[in-house]
Every structure is written in C-alpha cells, then in structure tokens.
Amino acid sequence: NNKTIIVPFSFKDDEKQASASNGSGGIADGHATAPAGDVKVKGPRSAADIMKVVEHRTPSLRNIYNKYREKNPAFEGRVVLKFTIGPDGKVVSMSIKSSTTNNAKFDEEIKKKVSEWNFGEANTGNTTVTIPFVFSE
C-alpha cells in the first residue's frame, strides 16, 4: 500500500501546541505548529506512526535552532528533508530537498540529527518521507 498522506508541520517559538492533522487527530509537543508545510509519506508506514517519532524527537532540532538564534536572533527558515526509512526503523537515505535558511551548516546539522532517528521496526518495505521543518521566532 503506497498511499500518500499529507500532514502540515512546523516550528514556532510563540506557540505551545502542535498540530499535525493526519485525518485522525493531532499531536502536541510544544515545539511544532501547523500549517507551514506538507509532510508526504509514501510506503507502508502510516503518517501517524512517523509523526509520533517526529513529535518525540523535535526537541533535539529545537536545540540546534536555538544555538543558531543565539548568534543571529533573526535567523529563520524552512528546511525540507526527504528520507527513506527501512524496515528496521533506521533512516537508509537522507537528502535536503530545499531550504530557505541560507545556512548550509544549519541545514546539515538538521539533516544529520534527523538521519539518526529510529522509527521502530516494521515488517514491511521502505517508506519515503518528505517533511518540511519551519523554524521561526
């Protein structure tokens, strides 16, 4: 089953609730808010399962973002990552699809951090995910 599910997802400092709608409800982690972009999931894993991991792991991205904001308080932008999750839950490929941060070092740190995430074993094939992370004050 290779259906594509679209879910908005972004970061914002002034919001305390997160919302990622996959048709069955939302998630909240205090670091992400909708509606800045679309998450696309193609493969056997559900967007809900992927977003649970994203929700749990976003504080590590927030820490990277805060480090860059200390140097430049106006720093913001959108990094769209495209990656493939293998059946073992590990990220098997990762690329930066686009970015508006104008900071390659930041983009690479975000890419590296997300590539370390484990999405849990699933006795299924690969799942490709395209997810925008929007960083703004």
For residue range 52-69, list pLDDT tens digits in order: 899 889 888 989 999 999
Strand order in the sheet with 77-85: 4-7, 39-42, 127-135, 77-85, 91-99
pTM, entire model: 0.75
Q: What is the pLDDT of residues 121-137, one digit of tens each?
A: 988 899 999 998 888 87
**How far is Cα of residue 60 from the mean position of the Cα atoms in its chain?**
11
Name residues whose C-beta falls within 8 Å of residue 122's C-beta, 6 or more positions apart in sequence: 44, 45, 49, 87, 89
Phi, psi of 52 (to 5 degrees): -60, -40
Among the residue ranges 12-26, 52-66, 108-122, the one predicted with the least confidence is 12-26
At residue 3's C-alpha, the angle toward residues 39 and 88, to 5°, is 75
Pairwise CA distance, residues 107 & 94, whole Å:
12
Q: Which pLDDT score, from 0 to 100, does residue 16 have?
A: 30
**How far does the chain reach from its first CA to its final CA, in angstroms?**
38
